[in-house]
Amino acid sequence: MDGARAAARRCTEELARGELRGPLHGVPFGAKDIFYSAGLRTEAGSRVLAGFVPAYDATAVARLKAAGAILLGKLHTTEFATFDPAPTHNPWNLEHTPGGSSSGSAAAVGARMAAAALGSQTAGSTLRPASYCGVAALKPTYGRVSAYGVIPVAWTQDHVGFMARSVEDLALLLQVTAGHDPADPNSSTERVPDYTGALTRRRAPRLGVLHQGFLDRADAEVARVTNDALARLERSGASVEAVKLPAHFETVYAACWTTVLVEAAAVHADLYRRHADLYRPRIREMVELGTLVPGDLYLRALRVRGRVRREVLPLLERVDALVTPTTPTPAPAGLAATGDPVFQAPWTALGLPTVTVPCGHSGSGLPLGLQLIARPFAEASLLATAGWCEDVLGRAPAPAL
């Protein structure tokens, strides 16, 4: 915090002299504790990394700082960004989970402790907690934002994610962090368009609603709030049609988990051999299961992922975004688990960009979200669509703390 205070003082002085570091001059943000931060402990919620202080910033952290943003501090994560919960509570109801694995990121933005936060998503770790905590979030296309300096979960599905109070802020965060990074072998060389400019071109979008496997799988309350939100969007001019997924779409779940288990086992093999006793039960189970999956099954999982992706891409050409509830239920009660990533996992496995915007509340006052899914590298149009929806649905109010 002392470093952040000093940085804030410098920003104030610069501003007084008419100097601006960049579009995020002085904006306070937090980073999930799997992002390397020079001089600050980075422990990934695990006793295995207790006291580890990296010498450099993750690329996403470095680019936010270069744009003028101030790193307030590190935010709690489930252990190694998987399933053993963080000590974080949901700011809307302290008896409920904030979600995971980016628990601290969602809670910090939801509770207005930071204007923005970096999270990550390997299955459902950014959009799910964001929705549970009533904030907007973006998971860009795979490779769009460098994952260099982010402790990996499963590198073919690891995405940097953003949380903020508005779609406009998400666009700003993406604008300053997107772009090729030679330090990340999976970083894309795709051109970076004008994301913030695209927001000024909001127009009533064509939305494709997914019923089977999504709206049909949500609880009654989520289904009601989602349908209400869709009706409001339609009344405001959006075209809303039902879209049917390919017959074998559900195979992507098995492909996603096989991939995550095997890659997580490979990531942790050395540390786990030396420090198995320090791992908590769920990450432990993942690593041990992962070492049992034969290599050819892993390769077949990658092929299934590729095949489902080829089948899904044409559906995305016909609409501005596919739409689902962001989660099948509001944030579950209790802190022993972090909720179900089932509505995010397919899009993460397919590497597609997704956004969640708040869309209402459950009867008990917990926030709910609408998930929008778009074509690869179509973040500009996705954010414009999300911004239009946000205009109709309204931003979530702050929780009463």
Q: Give the residue numbers marked as catalytic.
A: 32, 101, 125
List the one residue from 298, 343, 377, 388 that touches a second copy (CB under 8 A). Answer: 298
User: Residue 357 pairs with which residues in a beta bridge?
Assistant: 370
Q: Phi and psi for 223 in degrees, rounded to 5?
A: -60, -40
Nearest distance, CB of residue 303 and a second copy, angstroms: 8
Residue with smaller CB distance to a second copy, 17 or 273: 273
Range list of H helices, 72-166:
103-110, 127-132
Q: Which is nearer to a second copy, 258 or 324 (CB)?
A: 258
For the bound state, the minimum distance from the C-beta of residue 272 to a second copy, rounded and expressed in Å, comes to 10
Q: Judged by CB under 8 A, which of 6, 183, 276, 292 binds a second copy? A: 292
Q: How many CB atoms lie within 10 A of CB 139?
A: 31
Binding mask 102-141 for a second copy (x = CB under 8 A): ----------------------------------------
CB 351 to a second copy: min, Å = 15
| Residue 296 in contact with a second copy, rule: CB under 8 A | yes
What is the number of residues in the chain?
401
Amino acid at 338: T
Residue of 323, 389, 333, 401 whose CA lies nearest to 358: 389
Peptide bond into 101 cis (omega under 30): yes
Our CB check for a second copy shows the closer of 267 and 380 to be: 267
User: Which one among 51, 295, 314, 363 touches a second copy, defined by CB under 8 A?
Assistant: 295
Residue nearer to a second copy on the CB measure, 240 or 302: 302
Instruction: Name residues contacting a second copy, limited to 301-340 (CB under 8 A).
Output: 303
In whole angstroms, what is the distance from residue 385 CA to residue 381 CA? 6
Least separation in angstroms between CB 246 and a second copy: 20
Instruction: Pull the structure tokens for residue 362.
Output: 């459950």
Give the closest residue to 129 by CA, choosing from 173, 171, 170, 76. Answer: 76
Which CB atom, from 93 or from 156, has the smaller least distance to a second copy? 156
Distance (Å) of CA 375 to CA 77, 100, 158: 29, 25, 18
Interface of this chain with a second copy, residues 225 to 264, rule: CB under 8 A = 258, 261-263
Contact pick of 53, 269, 276, 313 for a second copy (by CB under 8 A): 269
State which of residues 109, 172, 174, 265 lies at the interface with a second copy (CB under 8 A): 265
Q: Residue 400 in contact with residue 176, Cβ under 8 Å?
A: no
- Residues 308, 347, 181, 78, CA torsion sign: negative
Residues that bind a second copy (CB under 8 A): 258, 261-263, 265-266, 269, 290-300, 303
